[in-house]
Chains A and B, each alone.
Chain A
């Protein structure tokens, strides 16, 4: 299976901060990398597909980049509603696998 490692596992930030979350795959996955946001008690929500394609309705402060094995989710200016957990998922090869998640907490 392709291992997907997210870092950090948690981070503390303030409103207005620029935040970046990393996802590293154990082998090259081209741009088959997707990002989800999950709030407590809720289902994940798709933010970005194919490494950098922002989903409709997702604020432009979210962006994704990377290819191969290294990927980054960036929030350019953190808003109160962005405090949540974020998960990456590789869709290059079955079985699909997720990173362990990153929790973004308020400083």
Chain B
């Protein structure tokens, strides 16, 4: 059973860096057929796609984030991290990691999500 779990601080100060980790278990993402993606949901709003990383290190980010986001992989721990710098209150959201299926690019397994609040 594929499982993803987000972890990280629930409170970040404005202008600082948001750091989250997604731990993947029950499946290997080495094949290239899958990748890890990050998605966020502002309170009471729709979903916003942030970016993805393949196991190979290939990444792509939503241009709307103005290069503030970075997704990286720790292969030894089967963990993908999301870092987002210069956060503001507008980055307050529930952050999800999910497994993307290459080719079709739908997201078939999701973590439970973690709320990150940006506040001083």
Residues on B close to A: CB < 8 A? 45-49, 60-64, 96, 98, 101, 104-108, 110-113
CB distance from A104 to the nearest CB of B (A): 15
Interface size class of A (residues with CB under 8 A): 20 to 34
A91 touches which of B63, B96, B98, B106 (Cβ 8 Å): B106
A87 to B47, CA, bound (A): 8
A residues neighboring B (CB under 8 Å): 1, 32, 34, 36, 42-46, 49-50, 55, 87, 89, 91, 94-101
Contact of B49 among A45, A95, A99 (CB under 8 A): A95
- Residues from chain A with Cβ under 8 Å of B48 in the complex: 98
Q: Give the residue of B106, B112, B113 whose beta carbon is less than 8 angstroms from that of A89.
A: B106
State in angstroms the CA–CA spacing of A101 and B98 once bound together. 18
Q: In the complex the two chains form, is B112's CB within 8 Å of A43's CB?
A: yes
Do B110 and A43 touch (CB < 8 A)? yes
| Chain B residues with CB under 8 A of A89 | 47, 49, 106-107
Contact with B110, one of A32, A44, A98 (Cβ below 8 angstroms) = A44
Main secondary structure of the interface of A (DSSP, over half): loop
Q: CA of A44 to CA of B112 in the docked complex: distance in angstroms? A: 9
Q: Are A45 and B46 in contact (CB under 8 A)?
A: no
Q: Chain A residues with Cβ under 8 A from B49's Cβ?
A: 89, 95-98
CA distance A42 to B111 in the complex (A): 9
Residue of A whose beta carbon sits closest to that of B108: A46
A76 to B46, CA, bound (A): 25
Which of A43, A98, A99 has the largest number of chain B CB atoms within 10 A? A43
Closest to A44 in B: B110
- When distances are taken between beta carbons in the complex, the residues of chain A under 8 Å from B112 are 42-43
